[in-house]
A = this chain, B = another copy of it.
Amino acid sequence: MVKNTLRREDALTRERIIEEAIALLDSSGEGGLTFRALAERLATGAGALYWHIANKNDLLAAACDAIVARRLGAPPVDASPQDIIRAVALELFDAIDAHPWIGPALTRAPWQAPLVRILERLGQQIRALGIPQAEQFAAVSALLGYILGVSVQNAANAQTGKQLGGDRSAILGQLAGAWAQLDADAYPFTRSIAAQLREHDDRMDFLAGVDLILRGLQRG
C-alpha cells in the first residue's frame, strides 16, 4: 500500500524516467543504466518504462539531450563571437567531463536533437564572424568535431583514471613512466613529451585548440 500511494503521488512520466536515468548514469556509469535498476528506483516494473520510451537508445539520447539543453540554456549576450564560441566549447567540455556517458550517446545518435542544438549555437557565431556562406558548413563541422572529439577523449581519460585509483598525478606519472620506457627508435616523440604529459592542463590545451581553429578561420 505504501508502494501504491507512492506511485500515485508521483506518476511515471518521460521526464521523471529521464532524470532518474541521468542520476543512474552519473553514479554508476554507462553500464549502470539498466531497465531493472531504473524500474526499482522508480518503484515500478521494467516493462512500464516502455510505455514512455521506445528503447534504451531512445532513453540514452533523451538523457543526453537533457544535459546539452541545460548546459546551453543561458543565451549569450554582449560578447564577441569568439568569446561565445569559447564559452560554448568550455561548457561542453565540462558537461562531458561531468557526464562521461554523453560521448558514446552523442555518437550513437548523429545529427539528432542534441547535436543540432550545438550546431546552431556554433553556427550563429560562425556567421557573425563573417565566414562566407559557402564555407560555413565546413567551418562549423570542423569546430564541432574538434570540440566533441577532444572533450570525449578527455572524459575517457579522466574516467579510466578514476577506475584505476583516483590520484590523477600518480596515474599521469605512471603513464609518463611507461612512455619514457618506449623504444627509443620507434617512439622518439612520445618519449620526449612524457614529461609534459605530467604537467599539462587538459582544459587549457583544449581552449588553445579552439583558438587555433578560430585563428585559422579568420585568416582563411
Query: Could you tell me which A residues sit within 8 Å of B by CB distance?
Result: 103-104, 107-111, 116, 119-120, 123-124, 126-127, 133-134, 136-138, 140-142, 144-150, 152-153, 156-157, 160, 175, 179, 182, 186-190, 192-193, 196-197, 200, 204-206, 208-209, 211-217, 219-220
Contact = CB atoms under 8 A, between A and B. Distances in A.
Contact of A190 (B120, B152, B187, B206): B120
Contact of A104 (B104, B110, B212): B104
Contacts of A208: 138, 142
Nearest to A182: B116
Given A213-B216, A216-B213, A107 B110 contact: no
A152 B219 contact: no
Contacts of A124: 188-189
Nearest to A159: B110
Contact of A209 (B142, B153, B156, B182): B142
> 8 shortest A-B CB distances, which residue pairs?
A149-B149, A145-B150, A142-B209, A123-B189, A212-B216, A216-B216, A137-B196, A138-B205
Contacts of A190: 116, 119-120, 123
A146 B141 CA distance: 10
A147 B149 CA distance: 8
Contacts of A186: 120
Contact of A111 (B111, B150, B175): B175
A212 B111 contact: no
B219 A123 contact: no
Contacts of A205: 137-138, 141-142
Nearest to A103: B107
A68 to B, nearest CB: 14
Q: Could you say which of A108, A140, A145, A150 has the most chain B C-beta atoms within 10 Å of its C-beta?
A: A145
